[in-house]
């Protein structure tokens, strides 16, 4: 039987554990988000691509989110499963979970790649790529090459939380940081020096994803808490269902971005065409480009939020398994305080400096209409980030407690019902300039339900009958 190398999760101070696990996880999540963002920054500042390239990047972004949604469902679900099993001292079950997660992500990534290659044009049109001819051409070019990297991207993303659950959060972080560094170095070479355009941005991204995937694969041969053997990779449908159930909230939180962006982009195209400025052909791509850029700003903040919460999964899961509810409650309080502070600071920055932030995406090369619409969109969509961060952190933390049902219901309500619903409804009533307010509206309504659930969970954790009381 393997030695319990993760016992310190039950004894070490919560503050120290959060720093050890949450910081690398935040970096990992940020790096995952930055792959597409870095591409967009370099594309936006290339004079021969500009807002057309920006719009094309925006159109393709949801398809990469679908890939990461499936990957994190498998990875986060496995991370929760492994952490609880290790807390219960069931090491063999944990190892089988890792093996089945690896098999699952490889199989699904290959299927998704085939679907993208076969149905490229219908998918792109669904997300508004045909707003004009140049945007459609660049979208096709970028999407084809990005699709070729999907198996490596999904493998690296799924393995990241699994490596964290094995007690190696720093190595998990390093796998993604190395890939991102590769992308940052080669993006300007491919775009500015070689003039490869959208293909160059995609090739630099794929190179980084391959590097991350190789590093993650090599770690499988030196797992500490859950050493693997050939039998661990024998497919067990029941076990995979457990993993997917535990990770379903992570899938919803990511996949909802796809539906939200589909609704946002299509509303931007539809109501932009009715606008006196954006109804003109030379400005038609601007609302789509701006909606994509602002979604990237949001993605950065929500990645930090998700990283804080996901970093707590091994800690919370292990202590739930070990019946240390007192430590789980203390962890929840610390996490919610961090989420609220993150959201508050972020909203202040976006409200005060929208024009300066847009300079990162080459706004000085665009028309005054571009900048004016961007300022309005940033302030409208990102004004209530404290609630967005609290909601996101709560979804993931509930998942780490094994509360898959509560987490999934809240995620569906926020991301599908309110997120997509308000994105479709608000512009129908008040037009294009009401579009960005769908997000604060959705987060406000959702937070009411989240607060009720968290108070109930707090009472459960305070009940001595459900766990062992002890010092924090």
Where are the chain's structural domains? 15-464
CA nearest neighbour of 316 among 434, 397, 218, 437: 397
Lowest mean pLDDT among 78-87, 98-107, 255-264: 255-264
Q: How far apart are CA 247 and CA 306, in angstroms?
A: 13
| Burial of 398 per CB tally in 10 Å (0-12, 13-18, 19+) | buried
9: confidence class by pLDDT, cuts 50, 70, 90: confident
| 147 Cα distance to chain centroid | 18
Q: What pLDDT, on the 0 to 100 scale, is given for residue 470?
A: 37
Contact status, residue 239 vs residue 178, Cβ threshold 8 Å: no
Q: What pLDDT, on the 0 to 100 scale, is given for residue 405?
A: 84
Say which residue, 36 or 309, is predicted with more confidence: 309
Q: What is the mean pLDDT of residues 88-108?
A: 92
| Burial of 241 per CB tally in 10 Å (0-12, 13-18, 19+) | exposed
Tens of pLDDT, residues 295-314? 888 988 988 998 899 888 88
Q: What is the CA radius of gyration of the chain?
A: 22
Please give the DSSP secondary-structure letter assigned to residue 225: S
Q: How far apart are CA 127 and CA 178, in angstroms?
A: 31
Q: What pLDDT, on the 0 to 100 scale, is given for residue 241?
A: 94
148: confidence class by pLDDT, cuts 50, 70, 90: very high
Q: What pLDDT, on the 0 to 100 scale, is given for residue 472?
A: 32
pLDDT exceeds 60 at position 467? no
466: confidence class by pLDDT, cuts 50, 70, 90: low
Q: What pLDDT, on the 0 to 100 scale, is given for residue 363?
A: 62
pLDDT exceeds 90 at position 50? no
| Burial of 415 per CB tally in 10 Å (0-12, 13-18, 19+) | buried
Q: How far apart are CA 101 and CA 347, in angstroms?
A: 37
Contact status, residue 399 vs residue 419, Cβ threshold 8 Å: no
pLDDT exceeds 90 at position 48? no
Lowest mean pLDDT among 89-93, 120-124, 231-235: 89-93
Q: What pLDDT, on the 0 to 100 scale, is given for residue 129?
A: 82
Whether pTM exceeds 0.85: no
Q: Taking the CA atoms of 405, 408, 411 and 417 in sequence, report the sign of the dihedral they define.
A: negative
4: confidence class by pLDDT, cuts 50, 70, 90: low
pLDDT exceeds 50 at position 469? no
pLDDT exceeds 50 at position 471? no
Q: Which residue has the tokens 């972080």?
A: 173
Q: What pLDDT, on the 0 to 100 scale, is given for residue 111?
A: 97
Tens of pLDDT, residues 365-413? 677 888 899 999 999 999 999 999 999 999 989 988 878 788 888 988 8
Q: What is the mean pLDDT of residues 425-431?
A: 92
Q: What pLDDT, on the 0 to 100 scale, is given for residue 1?
A: 43
Tens of pLDDT, residues 253-307? 777 777 777 888 889 888 988 888 888 877 888 888 888 888 888 988 988 998 8
Q: What is the mean pLDDT of residues 24-35?
A: 78
* Both tokens assigned to 48: 């021969």
pLDDT exceeds 80 at position 171? yes
Centre a 10 Å sphere on the Cβ of residue 10 and count the other Cβ atoms it contains: 18
Say which residue, 316 or 148, is predicted with more confidence: 148
CA nearest neighbour of 414 among 442, 374, 433: 442
How high does pLDDT run on average in the chain? 88
């Amino acid at each position: 039987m393997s030695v319990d190398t993760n016992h310190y999760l039950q004894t070490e101070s919560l503050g120290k554990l959060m720093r050890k696990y949450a910081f690398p996880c935040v970096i990992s999540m940020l790096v995952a988000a930055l792959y597409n963002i870095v591409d967009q920054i370099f594309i936006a500042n290339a004079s021969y691509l500009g807002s057309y390239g920006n719009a094309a990047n925006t159109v393709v972004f949801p398809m990469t989110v679908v890939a990461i949604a499936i990957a994190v469902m498998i990875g986060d679900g496995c991370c929760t499963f492994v952490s609880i099993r290790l807390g219960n001292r069931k090491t063999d079950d944990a190892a089988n979970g890792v093996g089945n997660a690896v098999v699952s992500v490889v199989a699904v990534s290959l299927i998704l790649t085939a679907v993208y290659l076969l149905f490229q044009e219908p998918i792109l049109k669904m997300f508004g790529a045909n707003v004009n001819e140049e945007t459609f051409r660049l979208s096709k070019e970028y999407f084809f090459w990005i699709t070729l990297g999907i198996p490596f991207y999904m493998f690296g993303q799924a393995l990241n939380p699994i490596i964290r659950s094995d007690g190696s959060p720093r190595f998990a972080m390093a796998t993604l940081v190395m890939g991102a560094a590769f992308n940052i170095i080669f993006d300007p070479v491919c775009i500015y020096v070689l003039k490869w355009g959208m293909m160059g941005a995609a090739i630099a991204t794929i190179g980084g994803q391959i590097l991350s995937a190789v590093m993650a694969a090599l770690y499988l041969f030196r797992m500490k808490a859950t050493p693997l053997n050939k039998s661990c990779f024998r497919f067990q449908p029941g076990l995979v269902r457990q993993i997917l159930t535990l990770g379903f909230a992570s899938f919803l939180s990511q996949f909802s971005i796809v539906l939200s962006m589909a609704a946002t982009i299509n509303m931007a195209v539809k109501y932009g065409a009715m606008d006196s400025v954006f109804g003109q052909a030379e400005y038609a791509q601007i609302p789509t480009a701006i909606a994509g850029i602002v979604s990237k700003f949001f993605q950065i903040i929500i990645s930090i939020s998700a990283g804080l919460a996901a970093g707590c999964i091994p800690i919370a899961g292990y202590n739930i398994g070990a019946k240390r509810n007192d430590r789980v409650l203390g962890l929840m309080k610390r996490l919610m305080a961090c989420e609220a502070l993150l959201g508050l600071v972020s909203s202040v920055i976006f409200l005060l400096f929208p024009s300066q932030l847009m300079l990162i995406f080459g706004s000085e090369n665009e028309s005054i209409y571009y900048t004016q619409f961007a300022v309005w969109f940033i302030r409208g969509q990102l004004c209530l980030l404290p609630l967005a961060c609290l909601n996101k952190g709560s979804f993931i933390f509930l998942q780490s407690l094994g509360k898959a049902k509560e987490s999934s219901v809240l995620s569906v309500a926020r991301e599908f019902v309110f997120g997509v619903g308000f994105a479709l409804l608000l512009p129908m009533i008040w037009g294009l300039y009401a579009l960005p307010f769908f997000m604060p509206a959705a987060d406000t309504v959702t937070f009411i339900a989240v607060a009720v659930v968290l108070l109930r969970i707090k009472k459960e954790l305070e009940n001595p009958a459900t766990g062992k009381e002890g010092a924090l």
